[in-house]
Structure 1
Amino acid sequence: MSAGSLQWGGRFHSAPDPALLAFGSSFDDDLLLARFDLQTSQAHVRALRGGGTIPPEIFDALVAALDRIAEEIEDGTFTAWARNEAFEDIHGAIDARVREIEDVAGRWLHAGRSRNDQIATTLALYAASRARDGLARTTSIARALASRARLALEKESVLAGTTHGQPAQPILLAFWLQAAAEPFVRSARRFAALAREAMEAMPLGSGALAGSCIPLDRTAAARYLGFARPSRNALDAVGTRDVLFACADAWATSCVPAARVAAEIVTWASPLFGYVRVGDASASGSSLMPQKRNPDIFELVRAGTQRALSDARAAWAASAAVPLSYHRDLQECKQSAIAAIERADSILTAFARAFADIEFDVERMERYATAGYTLATDHADALVRGGLDARRAHRLVGERVAIAEAQERAFDASDLQALGEHLGVPALFAPLDARASVLAKVTDGSTSPEAVVRALDALECELSECEASV
């Protein structure tokens, strides 16, 4: 990087240290912001023209140059050119390319503008775009899970739901799949809100921190970019990264449900469980052990989520000690936030592809659906319905579990008969198989087939509303 590629330098008597310039460069991290930065320049040209600062011929020349660079960004030639020239940041690269195409007109591009309001606007556009991408990604995952839930619902496939990693109560596989989908619906809702928030206030025209003495039509610029209005306070606008950081948070936290499902898949894929089989397309083998079928993608989803969360939190943490206005610390914050977003996107993409490749062993799930006395709660509930208080019912069923466990057998009719004596009936009316347990549920939000159908319908309706709101 040379001093000639910089957008500043007149007040200095000697050239900057090349090594320190390289240390401070954000160019490589900025490359994915190129199209957004170019849009910001297009908007600024319209603000200059609307304010009467540049004549029509300068405006036309700048627009033509920027349109040409947009094509170069799209086909990759701009990146190759900029890497060869070496720049401090993407703003300087685009500015230099404009001046190379239109020397005279290009000298007007930066009038009334600072890199401070430029990067703030660029990042808002990036955050809005990535929020829309996040909405699409999480909506797609939620719908894929819901679709598999409906297929599982047709067979009313059951398994032992767990708490603390131990058998708890029978549930529908469809219920488990719906539970996996629900967090992605919440993520979609967050992304939809973020996409709107990111486009509320446009920082462009704020200058370095205090606005500009050059007339700028900020309303025209905001309209061109799709913002609702120009920002109200220049000092706040140039130093605020709330929306970017919130976008990083939304992406990183969207990986958490993927990681939790992945953790369960890793366990279920073990032959000791055998509930799922990871497909050839997403499994890997061992360089030594010929028999291995490893769920590597799900393990990477699980671990990668922690990195995404760390990057997102680092962005907030690094900004906490930064005073109002722009400070170079925000460059580090930006890099952490973008790293979180891009990493999370790759995690969710991999998760969606790998999950689509798994097969559930429904017969094995159902075989063990009542193992560990998962029907015990149904029996306690039956006693309560018969008039016993909950504490006594809990104790009586627990005693029957201990007896059955000592005899190394499952719950059977003898247990129902013994429990029925406490109600003065020949036998307690309660389920003795997993499917009957599921069908006995009566509350909204439960694992009963009717409740799951209603929940899936509501889930898909909410996803459609999220999409329509952006």
Structure 2
Amino acid sequence: MSRFAEPQDPVFREMNTSLGFDRRLWRQDIRGSRAHARMLAARGIIGEDDLAAILRGFEQIEGELERGEFPFEPDDEDIHMAVERRLTALVGDPGARLHTARSRNDQVATDVALWVGEATERAVTAIETLMGALIDVAQAHRDWPMPAYTHLQRAQPVYLAHHLLAYVWMLERDRARFRFAGEQALRRMPLGAGALAGVNFDTDRTMTAAELGFGEPAPNSIDAVSNRDFVLDYLSAAATCATHLSRLGQEIVQWASEEFGFLTLPDAWSSGSSLMPQKKNPDCAELLRAKAPRIVGHLQALHGVIHALPLTYNKDLQEDKEHLFDAADTIEQALAAAAGMISGATFRADRMAAAAADELLAATDLADALVQRGVPFRQCHAIVGGLVREAVESGRTLSQLSDEELTARSEHLGPWIRELLEPLSLLERKQSQGGTASARVTEQLTLARALLA
């Protein structure tokens, strides 16, 4: 006999059942239940014979789930109840004693925290793989000039290595964010908080926390069962990382186009057209762009779920898992795809060098050279701006302007500017820390490799 006199409406039952997506928590559920059972036995709340039966039952259940042979039943609401039902069917009363001194509220929160801890480790590994790929490609192209852009207009020349390494530093921050999310997930253990107020047994939550890898038990039972901050932390890290990958994806799309022609993607990371036989499309890079708002949407959605949610546990929190799981699957896939594309791409030195040789990219260097000759910078900016206008309007390059035209613009200009207009000269002048000069790129490569040491 139960509290309810009639069965659930089929529509509500379907809505309420989470087994379709939370079954992937089974490893964490069994791990947490084993630790809980050992603690109960250590405190004399269940007998040693009960513990032995429970552990024996879990061995069989674990094998069934690993092999895809677990006998799910129509009434299984979630993975937690399914595992407990199966355990009781296998070992009898000891299985029915397992849920002593815990609630599904603290059990589920613990399982999700353990899952997030493992997911952050996978994300960190995938990030480091991509970082390594970028560093290797940068090392191989450390002296290949290319234009860098602002507003998608050519701005100043840089080395390809310098440009690629920018993503390494973005990813290094992503790695730190995922590590933080993992630390927060495993900082304080919810298990043993009960439904919301604690439990009526003299448990040892410190023992359970130590076995499961948590720093300590959560000190407040209300906060323990209602906390999903660690899921938000993970989704936030994933959203920022995906946004970085979207920028890389967009640049790959641009660079692979005939208009840029800076790289060729391998066939393994490209798609064709159903109609146009000649097409080789950068679909994978395009999907990197599209995956980012998907993950950001999961973060926003969970913020919406938790927003103004009264304490303590509410069924709303069941919605955390689909957002979490899809975001984790998506970011891990995106990181692997980015590493594959970067490692397999063939860069075209001729196209990049030709674009970097545009003399207008030397305008800032020319203004700085005038500063070094004692001219105030704002005057230098105006002088060089006028020089650029004259060259553009006459259809010539800066070096094609005559000596007379140069001095007519300013007494400080002269033939000396032509030597400054050499592309490599422009690159090697950027000697400041973090700049694109060869010595600084070599220094940066050393720093980048140290990140993975």
TM-score (norm 1): 0.92
1:124 and 2:113 are equivalent in the alignment: yes
1:298 shift after superposition: 0.8
Instruction: List alignment gaps of at least 5 residues for structure 1.
Output: 1-8, 465-470
Alignment match of 2:103 (pick from 106, 114, 126):
114
* Distance in 2 separating the partners of 1:377 and 1:111: 73
Task: Report 1:364-403 matches (<5 A).
Answer: 364-371=351-358, 373-403=360-390
SS at match of 1:316: helix
Q: SS of 2:38's equivalent?
A: helix
Do residues 51 (structure 1) and 43 (structure 2) align? Answer: yes
Q: Provide the secondary structure at the position in 2 that maps to 1:107.
A: helix
Decide whether the 8 Å contact of 1:112 with 1:205 is kept in 2.
Answer: yes
**1:106 counterpart letter in structure 2:** G
Distance of 1:108 and 1:217 partners within structure 2:
17
Counterpart in the other structure of 1:423: 412
- 1:411 positional shift: 2.0
1:449 matched to which residue of 2?
438
Is structure 2 residue 147 aligned with structure 1 residue 160?
yes
How many Å apart are 1:428 and its aligned residue? 4.0
Q: CA deviation at 1:372?
A: 6.7
Distance 1:415 1:93, change over 3 A: farther
The answer to whether the 8 A contact 1:167-1:372 is kept is no
Cα pair 1:416 1:430 within 8 Å, conserved = no
- Mean Cα deviation higher: 47-56 or 334-343: 334-343
Contact 1:203 1:231 in 2 (8 A): yes
Deviates more, 1:451-460 or 1:198-207: 451-460
SS in 2 for 1:368: helix
**Matching of residue 220 in structure 1 with residue 204 in structure 2:** no
Give, in angstroms, the shift of residue 362 of structure 1.
Answer: 1.3
Contact 2:145 2:160 in 1 (8 A): yes
1:215 deviates by: 2.4
CA distance in structure 1 between the aligned counterparts of 2:411 and 2:68, rounded to whole angstroms: 79
Q: Can you list the C-alpha shifts for 1:233-279, whole angstroms capped at 9, x where unaligned?
A: 00000000001111122122211111101111111111111111111
- Report the secondary structure of 2:272's partner residue: coil
8 A Cα contact 1:275 1:365, kept in partner? yes
Equivalent pairs counted in the alignment come to 451
2:263 is the counterpart of 1:276 = yes
Q: What residue is the counterpart of 2:350 in the other structure?
A: 363
> Which residue identity lines up with residue 115 of structure 2 in the other structure?
Y
- 3-state SS of 1:168 partner: strand
Of the candidates 231, 249, 252, which is equivalent to residue 236 of structure 2? 249
Output the CA distance in 2 between the equivalents of 1:26 and 1:373.
Answer: 61
Unaligned runs of 5+ in 2: none
**Matched-pair contact (CA < 8 Å) for 1:255–1:305:** yes
Name the CA distance, whole Å, in 2 between partners of 1:416 and 1:175: 35
After superposition, where does 1:147-186 map in structure 2 within 5 Å?
Answer: 147-153=136-142, 156-186=143-173
Name the amino acid aligned to 1:109. Answer: L
TM-score w.r.t. the length of structure 2 is 0.95
Match of 2:427 among 438, 444, 452: 438
The answer to whether structure 1 residue 13 and structure 2 residue 13 are counterparts is no
Structure 1 stretches of 4+ with a deviation exceeding 6 A read none
Distance, in Å, in 2 between the alignment partners of 1:65 and 1:424 is 87
Is 1:189 aligned to residue 176 of structure 2?
yes
RMSD: 1.8
Distance 2:430 2:7 in 1: 76
Alignment of 1:55-74 (within 5 A): 55-74=47-66
Give the drift of 1:351.
2.2
The one-letter code matched in structure 2 to 1:249 is S
- Of residues 338-347 and 309-318 in structure 1, the stretch that sits farther from structure 2 once superposed is 338-347
**Residue 302 (structure 2) pairs with residue 310 (structure 1):** no
Residue identity opposite 2:423 in structure 1: A
